Amino acid sequence: MKIKVCGMKQPDNIKALAELSPDYMGFICYNLSSRYIADLPADALSALPQSICKTAVFVNEDADSIDALINQFRFDAVQLHGSESPAFCQALQDRVIVFKAFGVDDDFDFAQLNNYAGHVDYFMFDTKTIGHGGSGKTFNWDILAKYKLDVPFFVCGGLSPENIASVKEIKHPAFYGVDLNSRFEIAPGLKNLDQLRNAFDILRAN
């Protein structure tokens, strides 16, 4: 199972997290988020090992701005949390790995994902909210049984020290990884490394 930790924005915290060797590290490039990277220096990311996929998170951002930030921070992946089209996603695949996030609830129609197959590398299934993630709430994972595509997916939304072990009970063949964020924080953008270390041990245990 792959592990992504999202919402990083403090250089010392980024460096400390890197020592735990997450597979992906997420940086929110959406200025309405409390975890917005703001004036984060690019060299805070350049020191990260190549084994960590540096992922930029956007919400309905224009292509030129995304391109500029990929160049500035040398991002390896982008995670799109807005209403981005399949064509928009596909255009980015020439440069980076592409995640497309969707808010999921009990009425979610997985058929809407069909047009994205082949145009994204991963889906990210988050809890549906009026915002764009960061709710700290889980969705009903049983609904994932309705997902029939082969595109691998990550689960996020409300994963916490209390429920992290239960995510291993998801047996869907396309289930690829988890995204850890708000429930592992001391403050927005500042992760609790002890909690994450324990979560990594649980997720990586056989």
Q: What is the pLDDT of residue 134?
A: 53
Percent of all residues in the chain with a pLDDT value above 90, rounded to a whole number: 93
d(C-alpha 195, C-alpha 161), whole Å: 7
Q: What is the pLDDT of residue 156?
A: 93
Q: Rounded to an integer, what is the distance from CA 58 to the centroid of its chain?
A: 11
DSSP E strands, 105-155: 122-127, 153-155
Per-chain mean pLDDT for the chain: 95
Residue pLDDT, tens place only, 128-171: 876 555 556 799 999 999 999 999 999 999 999 999 999 999 99
Q: What is the pLDDT of residue 133?
A: 52
Residue pLDDT, tens place only, 51-79: 999 999 999 999 999 999 999 999 999 99
Of 56, 44, 58, the closest CA to residue 12 belongs to 44
Residue whose structure tokens are 């590290």: 25
Q: What is the mean pLDDT of residues 95-117?
A: 96
Mind listing the domains of the chain with CATH numbers?
A: 2-204 (3.20.20.70)
DSSP bridge partners of 4 = 24, 179
Report residue 90's pLDDT band, with 50, 70 and 90 as the boundaries: very high
Q: What is the pLDDT of residue 135?
A: 57
d(C-alpha 194, C-alpha 53), whole Å: 22
Q: Rounded to an integer, what is the distance from CA 15 to the centroid of its chain?
A: 18
Q: What is the pLDDT of residue 130?
A: 64
In contact, 107 and 88? CB cutoff 8 Å: no
Q: What is the pLDDT of residue 129?
A: 72
Please state, in angstroms and as integers, the Cα–Cα distance from residue 35 to each residue in 84, 156, 186, 194, following that order.
21, 16, 12, 20
d(C-alpha 3, C-alpha 23), whole Å: 5
In contact, 65 and 80? CB cutoff 8 Å: no
pTM: 0.94
d(C-alpha 49, C-alpha 20), whole Å: 11
3-state secondary structure of 58: strand
- Is the confidence at residue 194, as pLDDT, over 80? yes
Question: Which two tokens mark 89?
Answer: 């996603």
Residue whose structure tokens are 């592409």: 98
